Structure 1
C-alpha cells in the first residue's frame, strides 16, 4: 500500500533535513526512505531528534553522499550496514536495506543486504514501525497496515508473531513498552506468542533488557506495561519479584492484593511527579521503580498471626535487598541501585508518626536518612496510601502534611538537608590533640548524635561537650604515656572481654 503523505496534517513542520537528505540520495541515483519510529511519530504529531533512514545504497555510497554535508559522521555500525551522522540538532542513522537471517539460539543475525524496501519493512518488529516515507516524493509505503493498527491502538507484527519473537525475543518486552509509552494494546495473537515464548527472553543480554525496562517504566502508563509483563509470563524471567506479588488471597481476605496495590502505588507516584521546574520532574525512574518494588519483600515475610491478622514484618528491609539484587542482575548503575533500594527501605518509616508523634530529633533523622531522596520519599509515602477507607486516608494525609510542615519549620532554623556535627574533623583533632584515625570517627559520630538529638549548638558548646565525652574515654588518660590514642584503641579492642588479657595472649 502506497500513497502520498499529507504533511499538512502535521502539528509541527517536517524538518528540512528530511527532504534535503532525500534529494541528495535521489540526485546520486539511490532510494532513501524515512522509516520506523520517526514515521510512526509523524502520525502522532511529533518529530523526534533521532531519525532513521533506509536505502539501497551500500555503506561506501552512503558516506560518499553525506561527506561534506553532514556535520560529522561515524562508521560504528558499518558491518550491519549502518552509517551514523549528525546534522544540525538531529542524530541520523542511514542503513542499507536488510534481509537478515537469524540463528534461533542467538539474537545476532547473519547480516544480509537487501534490494527492496518492502523486504526491509517485513523484518521490522511491529506494523506501526514497518511504514516508510519515500523521499523526496513523500510517498507513504505501508504494506502491513501500520497506520490502521496505530489508529486502532493495536500492536501487531508484519508476519507471524512467533517468527518475529524468535528472531529477536526482546521484541516481546518492546510490545509491553509500547503499551506503556503509546497506551496501546497488543493483539490477541501477539499476546499468545508472548506467553508461549516468554522463556526465550533468557538469550537476551541483561543490558538490553534493562534498557527496555527503563523505557517501559518511564512511559505514560507504566502500570499497563508491567501488567502485560506479568500476565504474559515475561516478568517471571526479568522481574520475578514483581510476578511473586500476586499472592494467593486467603479465604478470609485478611490482606489486600499486594500486586494490584503495587500497580496503584506506581500510578499514584507518576501523578505526584512535578514538571521540570519542580522537585521531582517526571518521568523519574528512581521514584517509579521504587513504587513498583516497594513491597517485593512481602511474599517472603508474610505470616498469619493467631489473632487472624496478617503481618509482613521487616518487609521493607527484605524488599530493599531483593530490589538491589535484581537491579544488579539487570546491570543498573550503582547510584541508581542505591537510590531505589534506599527508598524501598525507608518507605515504612513514616507509619506511626500520626499515632505517637515524633520529637524534633526523629524528624531530623528522617530527613538525614533520606538525604537527597527526601522529595521522592515524600511522594512514595503518599502514593503508598491506597485504602478505600476515606477516613483512614484523610488521617494519613493530614499526618504527612504535618510532618512536611515540621520539616519545613526546622529547615528554617537548621540546615536539615545537610546535617553535620557542629565541629568538623580538623577541629576535633585540634581540640583532642589526636591524629587521623578511629578516635576521630568516634568523636565525629558522638557529635553527630548530639546534633540529631538536640539540634545545632555554638562552637563553644560543642567543644565543651566533646571535652566531657573525651574525658570518659580510655584513650584520654593514656595520652601522657607516649602511646597514641589510636594505638591504645587497638590494644583496647584486643582485650575488650574485660579480663585485661589480650586475645593473642590467651
Structure 2
C-alpha cells in the first residue's frame, strides 16, 4: 500500500507491543489514508482491556486524557506537536457487540480478534485496519476494492447490520454526500425496506448526521439519496413532499428539483473565511432546502389553469420551525432558518417597482443579522431559465445592495432606534410607564424608518402630532 502513516501511530503501536498487546489503526483514518486525505483524529482497536492499556495511553497523551467512553471500552488521549497541531487518539478494546432490537445502544461484549471487531463496523470501506507498528494491512471484507469503486456496502448482511444499528442507514446517505460514493443495490434495498427502524434513533443523532451531510461538499447528492432511500419520509418528510405531481401542461416547476438547484446555487454563493457567509454555512443550506416546504399545503389550481402558492413563505416558516425543533437543532438555528424562509420572497416586489429609502431600511432592519444570507437565498431562488428575467432580477439585487451600502455610509442600520427614547417620550407627553409609551415608541420607530434620522425638534413635533390624534 502506498501511504505515509502518522509517526504517532507507529510510536503508540510500539508502546502497546512492548506490553504484549495488539494495536491496529481502524475505520475512517485507514480509509482516508487510502484516499490520500489526512486526519488528526486517529481511531485504534486493541486486544488489551481498558484497565490494561490506560497506563500506556496516559504516558502517550501527555497533553490530555479522557475516559468518557470507558463503559464501551474506549479511552482517549491527545498530544500537541511542535508546530502546535493536535493529534487525538481513541483506543477501544476489540468488540463483539449485541443489540437490543428496541434500542441502538449496544450491550458491550469484548472480542478476541481484530477480524471479529471489523465485522461489526458499518461499511466495508470503514472495516479495514492497519496493524501497528508493523504496518500489516487487514481487509477481510474487500473494503479497498469497494473504496476504489466508490461503493458503500456492509461487511455482513445489510438487514442484520441496519437492524443492529439503524443509524447506519443515515450514515450511508451521509457518506454519499461526503465521499461521493453510491450505495450498493442490496444495501440500498435493505435501507428502503427498513426505514421505520430509524424511529428508534434519537433526534439528536439523526440531526448530527443530517448536519454532516449538509456541511459536506455534495449536500445535494446526500439529500437526493435521503429522499430516494425513503429515510426522508421519516426524518425530514417536508422534503419528499416537494415532489409534487406536475400537471399535464407543466404550468409549474417540479418543486423538489427546484429546491435542489437552489441548494446548489446557495452553496456556490457562500464566501471564504473573510466573507460575510463563510463556507460551509449550515443556516443558509438549511434555509435553501426548506424555503419552499409551504408549497404543498398552499397549492391552488386557479381559474384559467394557473397554479398558485399564496402565503407559502409564512406557512413554510411555521413548518420549518416545527421540523427543526423536532430534530433538536439549537434555538438560534431554528429561529434564523425559519426567519429566512419567512422572508425569502420579500425582495421580489423590488423588481417590479424599486423601493423607497424607507422600504430599503425596513428590509435591512427586518433581515437584521441575516441580511447577507437572505440576499444569497434570494439570488439562489431565482432559477428562471428566461435570460432576460434572470438579468433583470440580478440587476435589481445589485442595485438594492448598492443602495444599502450607500445608506449604511450615512446611517448606522444596525442601531436604528427612534429619535426619541422612552424616557423622553414620557417626559414630553407627561406619561407614566404603560402601554401608551410603547405605542408612542413604535410610532416613532416607524417614523424613523420612513424618514431616516431627523433633528430633535422635528421628532418632538411628530410625537406631539401623533399624540394629538
TM-score grouping bracket, smaller chain normalisation: over 0.9
Q: Residue 14 of structure 2 corresponds to which residue in structure 1? A: 23
Q: Residue 479 of structure 1 corresponds to which residue in structure 2? A: none
Q: Residue 69 of structure 1 corresponds to which residue in structure 2? A: 60
Q: Which moved more, 1:15-24 or 1:429-438?
A: 429-438
* Structure 1: stretches of 5+ with no match in the other structure: 9-13, 473-506
Residues 1:69 and 1:425: Cα distance change in structure 2 (over 3 Å): farther
Scaled by the length of structure 2, the TM-score of the pair is 0.96
- 2:245 aligned residue (244, 248, 271): 248
Scaled by the length of structure 1, the TM-score of the pair is 0.89
Residues 1:432 and 1:80: Cα distance change in structure 2 (over 3 Å): same
Q: Residue 83 of structure 2 corresponds to which residue in structure 1? A: none
Summarize deviations over 1:328-363 as a string: whole Å, max 9, x none. Answer: 111111110000000000001111211122111111
- 2:319 aligned residue (322, 329, 334): 322
In 2, are the aligned partners of 1:17 and 1:87 still within 8 Å (CA)? Answer: no
In 2, are the aligned partners of 1:230 and 1:243 still within 8 Å (CA)? Answer: yes
Q: Which moved more, 1:352-361 or 1:363-372?
A: 352-361
Structural RMSD (CA): 1.5
**Is 2:84 the partner of 1:87?**
no
CA distance in 1, matches of 2:187, 2:125: 14
CA distance in 2, matches of 1:460, 1:237: 60
SS in structure 1 opposite 2:270?
coil
The Cα shift of 1:121 comes to 0.6
Larger Cα-atom Rg: 1
**Is 2:70 the partner of 1:78?**
yes
- 2:43 aligned residue (41, 49, 52): 52
SS in structure 1 opposite 2:297?
helix
The Cα shift of 1:258 comes to 0.4
Q: Residue 36 of structure 1 corresponds to which residue in structure 2? A: 27
Q: Residue 337 of structure 2 corresponds to which residue in structure 1? A: 340
The Cα shift of 1:471 comes to 4.2
CA distance in 2, matches of 1:463, 1:142: 80
Q: Which moved more, 1:340-349 or 1:96-105?
A: 96-105
Q: Which moved more, 1:139-148 or 1:417-426?
A: 417-426
Q: Which moved more, 1:122-131 or 1:87-96?
A: 87-96
Summarize deviations over 1:297-327 as a string: whole Å, max 9, x none. Answer: 0001000000211000000000000000001
* Structure 2: stretches of 5+ with no match in the other structure: 81-85
Query: What is the number of equivalent residue pairs in this alignment?
Result: 463
In 2, are the aligned partners of 1:429 and 1:435 still within 8 Å (CA)? Answer: yes
**Is 2:161 the partner of 1:164?**
yes
The Cα shift of 1:182 comes to 1.1
In 2, are the aligned partners of 1:368 and 1:418 still within 8 Å (CA)? Answer: no
- 1:222 aligned residue (199, 205, 219): 219
In 2, are the aligned partners of 1:262 and 1:292 still within 8 Å (CA)? Answer: yes
Summarize deviations over 1:350-403 as a string: whole Å, max 9, x none. Answer: 112111221111111110111000100011000001121111111111111111
Q: Residue 113 of structure 2 corresponds to which residue in structure 1? A: 116
